[in-house]
Amino acid sequence: MKHTFAHTRSQSLIQQPALKPKSALILKPTSLALAMGLLTSMASPVLMAEDDYDLSSRWYGGLNIGQTRESINDGAIANSELGGGINFITDDYKDNGYKIFAGYEFNEHFSMEAGYFDLGQFGFRAVKDPIGALKSRTKTRGFNIDLVGTLPLSERWSAFARAGAHYSEAYDRFQGIGGVVVADTHRKERDTNFKWGAGLQYDFSRKFAMRLETERYAIKDVTDNNGKINLYSLGVLYRFGEARTTQSTHEEPVTRRDQLREEYCTTLDVHFAVNNAEVQREYIEQLTVVGNFLNKYPETKAVIEGHTDNVGSAESNLVLSRNRAENVMDYLIREQNVAAQRLSAVGYGEERPVADNDTEEGKRANRRVNAVVTCVEDVEGLKPPTARVTLGLLIEFDGESTELQSRYHSELAEVAKFLKENPGVTATVEGHAANLQNSARAQQVSQQRAQNVVDYLLNNEGIERSRLSVESFGKTRRYAYNTSAEGRKENSRVNIIFNYPN
Residue pLDDT, tens place only, 303-327: 899 999 999 899 999 999 999 999 9
Asked if 393 and 496 count as a contact pair (C-beta separation under 8 A), the reply is yes
Q: Residue 414 has what DSSP assignment?
A: H
Instruction: Choose among 191, 193, 70, 216: nearest CA to 138.
Output: 70
The per-residue pLDDT for 102 is: 96
How far is 140 from 214, CA to CA, in rounded Å? 17
Asked if 61 and 101 count as a contact pair (C-beta separation under 8 A), the reply is yes
What is the enclosing helix (H) or strand (E) of 172? strand 157-178
How far is 177 from 127, CA to CA, in rounded Å? 9
Instruction: Choose among 450, 443, 451: nearest CA to 494.
Output: 450
pLDDT band at 389 (very low <50, low <70, confident <90, very high): confident
The per-residue pLDDT for 252 is: 42
How high is the mean pLDDT of the chain? 80
The per-residue pLDDT for 54 is: 56
> Is the predicted pLDDT of residue 469 greater than 70, yes or no?
yes
> Is the predicted pLDDT of residue 168 greater than 70, yes or no?
yes
> Is the predicted pLDDT of residue 290 greater than 60, yes or no?
yes
How far is 52 from 71, CA to CA, in rounded Å? 45
With a pLDDT cut of 70, the percent of the chain lying above it is 81
Q: What is the tens place of the pLDDT at every residue in 211-262?
A: 999 999 999 887 788 889 999 999 999 999 776 544 444 444 444 333 333 3
The per-residue pLDDT for 457 is: 93
> Is the predicted pLDDT of residue 14 greater than 70, yes or no?
no
The per-residue pLDDT for 386 is: 65
The per-residue pLDDT for 288 is: 84
> Is the predicted pLDDT of residue 414 greater than 50, yes or no?
yes
User: CA 443, 447, 451 angle in degrees (round to 5)?
Assistant: 175
> Is the predicted pLDDT of residue 43 greater than 60, yes or no?
no
Distance (Å) of CA 416 to CA 385, 394, 461: 25, 14, 6
3-state SS class at 362: helix
Query: Of the given ranges (43-52, 90-99, 216-225, 380-389), which has the lowest mean pLDDT?
Result: 43-52
The per-residue pLDDT for 267 is: 63
> Is the predicted pLDDT of residue 297 greater than 50, yes or no?
yes
Query: Of the given ranges (42-46, 167-171, 273-277, 464-468), which has the lowest mean pLDDT?
Result: 42-46
The per-residue pLDDT for 269 is: 79
3-state SS class at 451: helix
The per-residue pLDDT for 22 is: 38
What is the enclosing helix (H) or strand (E) of 176? strand 157-178
Instruction: Choose among 156, 157, 221: nearest CA to 1.
Output: 221
Q: What is the tens place of the pLDDT at every residue in 478-487?
A: 877 777 788 8
> Is the predicted pLDDT of residue 447 greater than 80, yes or no?
yes
> Is the predicted pLDDT of residue 112 greater than 50, yes or no?
yes
Query: Of the given ranges (67-76, 108-117, 157-166), which has the lowest mean pLDDT?
Result: 67-76
* pTM check: above 0.75: no
The per-residue pLDDT for 64 is: 97
Q: What is the tens place of the pLDDT at every residue in 125-162?
A: 888 888 888 898 999 999 999 999 999 998 889 999 99
Exposed (0-12), middle (13-18) or buried (19+): which is 130, by Cβ within 10 Å? exposed
> Is the predicted pLDDT of residue 34 greater than 80, yes or no?
no
Instruction: Choose among 22, 21, 225, 6: nearest CA to 127.
Output: 6
Instruction: Choose among 257, 152, 237, 140: nearest CA to 190.
Output: 140
Side chain identity at residue 17, one-letter code: P
Residue 238 φ then ψ, to 5°: -125, 125
The per-residue pLDDT for 2 is: 34
Secondary structure E strands in 240-367: 264-271, 302-306, 343-347
What average pLDDT score do residues 70-86 get? 82
